[in-house]
Structure 1
Amino acid sequence: MKNGLIICFLVASVWGCSKKSEKRMNPEIELPYYSDAIFTPEWISPEDTKYDSIHTIADFSFVDQNGDMITNQTFENKIYVTNFFFTLCPNVCPRMTKNLKKIQKEFASDESVKILSHTVMPWVDSVGRLAEYASLNDIDVSQWSLVTGDKKYLYQMARESYFADEGFGKTVTTDEDFLHTENIILVDTKRRIRGIYNGTLPLEMKRMIEDIYTLKKE
C-alpha cells in the first residue's frame, strides 16, 4: 500500500511539474488553444511561429428561433459557448440546457458573452419548434441563439470546426447519419477554441465561468 502511494505521488508530481513547465513557457497565456479533434491543449504566444496557424471556426450562416439569420458576424468580437442538441432528446440535452442556463444567468447583462446551440436534427427542429423550446426553457433570445439549417452544413460545421462527433447518436432510432456530443465548446473573440467541457456536469459550468472571465482579461 505504501509503495502504491509513493508511485501515485511520483506520477502526480511529474505530471504537475510537466503542466506547470508547459504553462511557464508562455506565462501571459492562461488558457490553451485547441486545434485538433483530440483536443490537445497548446499554450501559444503571439510571438510563436505556430500562432498564425491556430485552428479557427469557419464562417457560418444559420437561422435562429426568431427566424433571423445568425452568422459569424453576429459573434464578432464576442466570447461565446456553443453546443449541439435536439429538442426531442430525452436526457443529455435537457441537462446541457439546464447547465447552460447557469452561463446565461452569470452573464445576463454582459453583451460580450453569448451562447450558440445548433440542432443536429434540423428535419424536426424548425424555427417554430426552436422558438417553443426557447420559451419552455426560459431562454433569453437576446443572449442565446438556437439555430437550424441544412443538415449537411450543420454537420460539417460540427465536425470540422468544433470537432464535435462522439457517436451519442447511436442510441437514436434512425437510419441516417446522426451526430451528438456532450461537449460544450468555449470560443474566444478571434473564433479560436479555448475550452472543452462536459455539458452534463454542473461543476464543469463553474470551470467554464472562470475561464470566460479569464478570456475577458486577454
Structure 2
Amino acid sequence: MKKLVLGFLVVIVWSACKSNSGNKMTLPIFGSRRAVSKVVDGKTEVDTIYQTIPKFGFINQYGDSITNKSLDGDIYVADFFFTTCPSICPIMARNMLKVYDTYKSDGNFKILSHTIDPKHDSVPVLKKYADKLGVNGNTWWFVQGKKEETYDIAEKNYLVAVKKDSTAAGGYVHAGYFVLVDKQKRIRGAYDGTDPKQVDQLIEDIKALRAEPDEVIVQ
C-alpha cells in the first residue's frame, strides 16, 4: 500500500531535492506550476503560479465545519486513514502523534486526517478515535465528508492514491503519506508515515518551513 502514490514518485529522492541558501534550508514546491506575465512599473515580469489545495469542506471530530479558510495562515500536515484499518493506519497514527506532540502548542500549525470510510467513521466515531489517541484541542482534526470529495482531493490535489478494494485488509487501499502544506496551501513535501526516520525529517522540515517568509520563491 505504501507504493500507491500518484504524483510523488520523486519522493524517493526528496532529500536530494532541497536547496541550500547559505545555512538555511529551502523546501521544494511540489505539483504543477505555470508562468504568468504581468506589468510592474512599465516592465514585464514573469511570476510563477504554483498548484495549491483548493476550496473544501469537511466535518471534524467535534462536529465543527472545517474548510480551507479554517487553515488560513497555518502550516499543516494532511493524511488519509480509516478508523478500522488493520494495517498501516495504527503505525501512521503513532508516528503522527510525534508530530502532534512536537507542535501542539504552536497556534499556526494543524494536522488534518481525512477518513476514507465516512460511512462508518461518523463524528462520534472520530471523536472516540481521537480520545483513544489522547488528542484534544484544535491542533489535530479528524475529518469526514462526502466520499467522492475526499477521494477527489486526495488524488488530484494531495497526490495520494486511495480506493475501495474488497480484497484488501479492511476493504480499502491507500498510500501512507504525510503531506506537508505551507501557509499558501502549496505542497512542500511528502513523507512515509510508517517510517520513523521520514517522520523525524518531517518534524525538522516543519521547523524549516516555519522559518520561511510568508512568500518564498523556489527556482
Shorter-chain-normalised TM-score: which range? 0.7 to 0.9
Determine the structure 1 residue equivalent to 2:115: 119
Quick one: distance in 2 between partners of 1:216 and 1:146? Answer: 23
> Of the candidates 94, 103, 121, which is equivalent to residue 99 of structure 2?
103
Over residues 156-178 of structure 1, what are the superposed CA-to-partner deviations in whole Å (9 max), with x where a residue is unaligned? 1111110110669551465xxx5
Over residues 102-137 of structure 1, what are the superposed CA-to-partner deviations in whole Å (9 max), with x where a residue is unaligned? 011101211111100000001110001001101111
Determine the structure 2 residue equivalent to 1:171: 168
Determine the structure 1 residue equivalent to 2:56: 60
Residues paired across the two proteins, number: 185
Quick one: distance in 2 between partners of 1:167 and 1:154? Answer: 11
**Given the two structures, how large is their TM-score scaled by the length of structure 1?**
0.77
Determine the structure 2 residue equivalent to 1:217: 211
**Given the two structures, how large is their TM-score scaled by the length of structure 2?**
0.77
Quick one: distance in 2 between partners of 1:118 and 1:188? Answer: 18
Of the two structures, which has the highest relative contact order with CA contacts closer than 8 Å and spacing of 6 or more?
2
1:186 partnered with 2:186:
no
Q: 1:151 to 1:111 in 2, by over 3 A?
A: same
1:81 partnered with 2:48:
no
Judging by fraction of residues, say which structure has more helix: 1
CA contact (8 A) 2:111 2:141 kept: yes
CA contact (8 A) 2:155 2:161 kept: yes
Quick one: distance in 2 between partners of 1:23 and 1:205? Answer: 20
Over residues 187-206 of structure 1, what are the superposed CA-to-partner deviations in whole Å (9 max), with x where a residue is unaligned? 00000000100001111111
CA contact (8 A) 2:112 2:140 kept: yes
Q: How does 1:1-218 map to 2 (within 5 A)?
A: 23=19, 30-35=26-31, 49=46, 51-52=48-49, 54-165=50-161, 169=165, 171-172=168-169, 174=171, 178-218=172-212
Gaps of 5+ in 2: 1-12, 33-44, 213-219
Judging by fraction of residues, say which structure has more strand: 2
- Runs of 4+ aligned structure 1 residues displaced above 4 Å come to 26-29, 166-170
Quick one: distance in 2 between partners of 1:150 and 1:197? Answer: 26
**Max Rg structure:** 1
**How big is the shift at 1:29?**
6.8
Gaps of 5+ in 1: 1-14, 37-47
